[in-house]
Amino acid sequence: MNIINFTKANCKNCYKCVRSCPVKAIKIKDEQAEIVAERCIGCGICLHSCPQNAKSIKSDLETIQEWIKDGQKVVVSIAPSFPAAFNLKKEGQIVTALKQLGFYAIEETAAGAEIISLLYKDFYYRKDYNHVITTSCPTVNYLIERYYPHLVKYMVPVVSPMIAHGRLLQRQFGQKVKIVFIGPCISKKFETLHFQHDRVIDAMITFDELHRWLEEENISIENLPSTSFGQTYCNRARWYPLAGGVALSSLDKEDKGRKILKIDGLENCRELLSYLDNGELENTWIEINACDGGCINGPGNYESPWGKYIREEKVKEYITKTIDVKKQAKNLHFEAKDVYKTFIERPICSKMPSPEEIKSILKQIGKHKKEDELNCGGCGYNTCREKAIAVYQGMAEKYMCLPYMRSRGETLSNFIIQNTPNAIIVLDHNFHIIEFNPSAEKLFHWENVQVLKKPIEMVMEKSGFNEVKNHSPLIYRGKRYLPSYDLVVIETVLYIKEQDMYLGIFSDITQEMSNKKALDEMKTNTLNMAQEVIDKQMRVAQEIASLLGETTAETKVTLTQLKKLVQGQEGDIYSGKLY
């Protein structure tokens, strides 16, 4: 499972996530958005850009709750941006809240940042580095490794404060405890997985996840007493979550020799990285952070009760209360193997299409010449050619072009409306005509320009429109005779609620009805003729029967007489009277 996922059922093809993704790590396949893990830099921008809320983040919350339920010791490393995430009267209230949730100990991640700051200062003076790029932000680290791999040579080869602190906590509490990081960053989830083989940080949740957990447990953090953090002391490194805070934590005012650049916000980061090696800048020390304004505005701090500038003030207030410029952080013993890390060039290898292949893809979506390339960004890409390249690389689909699909849809719908044999009339909510197609003109003998914006009664006094006028029923279908035109029509009328308008479709069945009437008359005449033939046949049969009866009787009489005559002659012969 990826850290960030999109819910297929909710994706509505708005491409807002593609548009917001600074590295175009979101792939559209079968009209659904999905994260391409090897391209993703974990910035989390897409999470809050989706209007359908069609995304999910891999959460360790249930796992942490199970550890606590099972009685395991779970230690928290909490990011120094926590004052910007919660409504705290006293900063120690966050410690009390976490204790009530069942955590064994709560420590500040800034202790790990104290170690990393010492190393950043060392690299400030390294002569073999033309540029020194800080590596506390995992998102920027992924960005450089994947999209600016030629700059990996300038990255300070040390772990993030989270990892450094995790190793401090392992040494302090032993290997059997579970270590959980809580902070404002989504990319820390990625980083936790990358260090899974070392089991430095066992789980990670964002401030937003902690907000929801506290709500579920009905813990009102602003009403809790204050409790002190653990034993590991930290000082200047609490500046880390603010833009420019790494420099404040790592360097002194008297540090000279390099140009110090403080860059925050992904667009600014990309702009700098794109020309860093072109010779315009030399001998720099670059504090670089993906989030605009620093970690306090991370994507895992979305539910903060404070606005951007108030968050900054809350962190500054906390620092002012706790910082002691004369003291150095203590209990920060570490070994080189605990803090050094090798960054690797991991370039995104994607085959590029030829100019002919780009042109072919553009033609398939109706872009035959330069003027057709609107570069509107509706698909999520800045230019039509960028989108065509994404199509070639399997990251986008051809028909993500909204102007093309709209044009195609309008052309198709207009073609159907203009060429259908059925009369189509569309009315607005005032029952005025707003569409009157050519078939309607032909059927009702009105021209479009004559009836547009006129009441329907101008064309027909009674119709199915009257049946649905009160939206009950929403659809009507029936047969109607229109005496004004001597027409019989089948009418289908429906109310379209979303647009608050009425659609009427009228099919002329006058000829069919006329043919049916003629056929009915033919049937009636045929039946009448058949009845006459039957009646005549009956009469003939009766007459024949009568004649047959008379002739039969006469024949019987004649034969009877003939029989008697013959029988009488035979008697005379046998009696001898004839001799």
Look at residue 273 and tell me if it is in a domain: yes
Averaged pLDDT, 520-525? 72
* Whether residue 171 is found in the same domain as residue 115: yes
Q: Which residue has the higher pLDDT, 380 or 404?
A: 380
Task: Indicate the residue among 419, 436, 460 that finishes a domain.
Answer: 419
Burial code of 181-195, b = ≥16 C-beta within 10 A, e = fewer? bbbbbbbbbbbbeeb
CA distance 375 to 367: 11
Whole-number pLDDT of residue 519: 67
* Whether residue 52 is found in the same domain as residue 63: no
Q: Which residue has the higher pLDDT, 192 or 334?
A: 192
Measured from the Cβ of residue 486, the count of other Cβ atoms closer than 10 Å reads 8
Look at residue 102 and tell me if it is in a domain: yes
* Whether residue 92 is found in the same domain as residue 226: yes
Using the predicted structure, report yes or no on whether residue 27 has a pLDDT greater than 80.
yes
Angle between the 161-173 and 187-194 helix axes, to the nearest 10 degrees?
A: 50
Whole-number pLDDT of residue 327: 58
Domain extent for 17:
1-58
Whole-number pLDDT of residue 412: 72
The model's confidence at residue 574, banded by pLDDT at 50, 70 and 90, is: very low
Using the predicted structure, report yes or no on whether residue 211 has a pLDDT greater than 70.
yes
Whole-number pLDDT of residue 253: 83
Whole-number pLDDT of residue 473: 74
The model's confidence at residue 462, banded by pLDDT at 50, 70 and 90, is: confident
Averaged pLDDT, 214-239? 89
Please, where are the H alpha helices in 130-276?
138-147, 161-173, 187-194, 207-216, 245-250, 266-275
CA distance 184 to 249: 19
* Whether residue 433 is found in the same domain as residue 358: no
Averaged pLDDT, 361-385? 90
Lowest-confidence pick of 101-105, 108-112, 329-333, 387-391: 329-333
* Whether residue 184 is found in the same domain as residue 284: yes
Using the predicted structure, report yes or no on whether residue 572 has a pLDDT greater than 80.
no
The model's confidence at residue 576, banded by pLDDT at 50, 70 and 90, is: very low
CATH code, 15: 3.30.70.20
CA distance 170 to 172: 5
* Whether residue 68 is found in the same domain as residue 16: no
Look at residue 480 and tell me if it is in a domain: yes
Look at residue 204 and tell me if it is in a domain: yes
Look at residue 172 and tell me if it is in a domain: yes
Using the predicted structure, report yes or no on whether residue 579 has a pLDDT greater than 60.
no
Measured from the Cβ of residue 351, the count of other Cβ atoms closer than 10 Å reads 8
Whole-number pLDDT of residue 515: 78
Q: Which residue has the higher pLDDT, 2 or 483?
A: 483
Whole-number pLDDT of residue 521: 72
Residue percentage of the chain with pLDDT more than 70 = 93
Averaged pLDDT, 351-362? 93
Averaged pLDDT, 401-427? 83
Look at residue 577 and tell me if it is in a domain: no
Interval 107-140: pLDDT, tens: 999 999 999 999 999 999 999 999 999 999 999 9
Residue percentage of the chain with pLDDT more than 90 = 60
* Whether residue 144 is found in the same domain as residue 220: yes
* Whether residue 398 is found in the same domain as residue 482: no
Answer whether 0.85 is exceeded by the pTM: no
Domain count, the chain: 4
Averaged pLDDT, 33-57? 88
Task: Indicate the residue among 37, 58, 79 that finishes a domain.
Answer: 58
* Contact indicator for 60, 280 with CB cutoff of 8 Å: no
Whole-number pLDDT of residue 336: 73
Residue 568's Cβ-count burial label (10 Å; 0-12, 13-18, 19+) is exposed
The model's confidence at residue 573, banded by pLDDT at 50, 70 and 90, is: very low
* Whether residue 99 is found in the same domain as residue 185: yes
Strand order in the sheet with 259-264: 131-133, 284-289, 259-264
* Whether residue 206 is found in the same domain as residue 239: yes
Averaged pLDDT, 33-62? 88
The model's confidence at residue 578, banded by pLDDT at 50, 70 and 90, is: very low
Interval 264-308: pLDDT, tens: 999 999 999 999 988 889 999 999 999 999 999 999 999 999 999
CATH code, 468: 3.30.450.20
Using the predicted structure, report yes or no on whether residue 1 has a pLDDT greater than 60.
no
Look at residue 374 and tell me if it is in a domain: yes
Strand order in the sheet with 203-206: 105-108, 74-78, 178-183, 203-206
Interval 145-181: pLDDT, tens: 999 999 999 999 999 999 999 999 998 998 899 999 9
Please enumerate in sequence order all residues whose Cβ is within 8 A of that of 119, keeping only pairs 6 or more positions apart, or say none: 156, 158, 339
* Whether residue 218 is found in the same domain as residue 367: no
Task: Indicate the residue among 368, 396, 419 that finishes a domain.
Answer: 419
Tokens in use for 415? Answer: 């073609």
Look at residue 193 and tell me if it is in a domain: yes
Q: What is the mean pLDDT of the chain?
A: 88
| Cis, bond preceding 83 (omega within 30 deg of 0) | no
* Whether residue 211 is found in the same domain as residue 261: yes
